[in-house]
């Protein structure tokens, strides 16, 4: 699964994490809608004015659909490879998809009850988005000037509805 966007203007590296959070939330919702888990997280950043970019992937130890874990992985890639150049293109991909099982492999550091509560909360948000539209329930950060979430939710295939 992939989500990407060409930004309407040049973004500084301080503004990009907000967009990555919005995009990873949207992609996580799509993945849960298809009852999938991912073991591979990829990030592509394209700099403005043909200054290059980078694309990297990280394999996860356990498959997941947890927005928080996926965002942390994306930010690990971002923080390691980003250069202080204006950003114009962003893409996130989740690969090595597998079906959701009735059980989840926990680590010594995971609390099964907390994980189940987070999953139920994410599924409830997904349900509200599906029933009432994605702009009904958004993060407060979607109101910030650099946010593209509300604009992207009003597009179909990158075009205005």
Give the contacts of 83 (CB within 8 A, at least 6 positions apart): 13, 47
Q: What are phi and psi of 130, to 5 degrees?
A: -70, -40
pTM: 0.77
pLDDT tens-digit series, residues 104-153: 555 666 666 677 787 777 888 778 777 877 776 677 766 666 767 656 66
For 121, how many CA atoms within 13 A lie in the half-sphere containing its CB?
A: 10
pLDDT tens-digit series, residues 12-49: 999 999 999 999 998 998 998 999 999 999 999 999 99
Res 144: pLDDT: 66
């Amino acid at each position: 699964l992939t989500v990407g966007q060409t930004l309407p203007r040049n973004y500084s590296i301080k503004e990009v994490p907000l967009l990555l959070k919005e995009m990873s939330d949207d992609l996580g919702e799509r993945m849960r809608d298809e009852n999938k888990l991912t073991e591979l997280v990829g990030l592509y950043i394209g700099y403005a004015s043909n200054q290059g970019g980078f694309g990297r992937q990280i394999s996860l130890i356990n498959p997941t659909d947890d927005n928080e874990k996926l965002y942390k992985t994306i930010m690990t890639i971002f923080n390691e490879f980003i250069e202080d150049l204006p950003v114009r293109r962003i893409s996130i991909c989740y690969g090595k998809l597998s079906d959701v099982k009735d059980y989840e492999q926990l680590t010594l550091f995971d609390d099964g009850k907390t994980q189940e509560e987070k999953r139920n909360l994410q599924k409830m948000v997904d349900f509200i988005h599906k029933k009432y539209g994605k702009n009904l329930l958004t993060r407060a950060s979607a109101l910030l000037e650099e946010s593209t979430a509300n604009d992207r939710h009003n597009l179909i295939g990158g075009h205005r509805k």
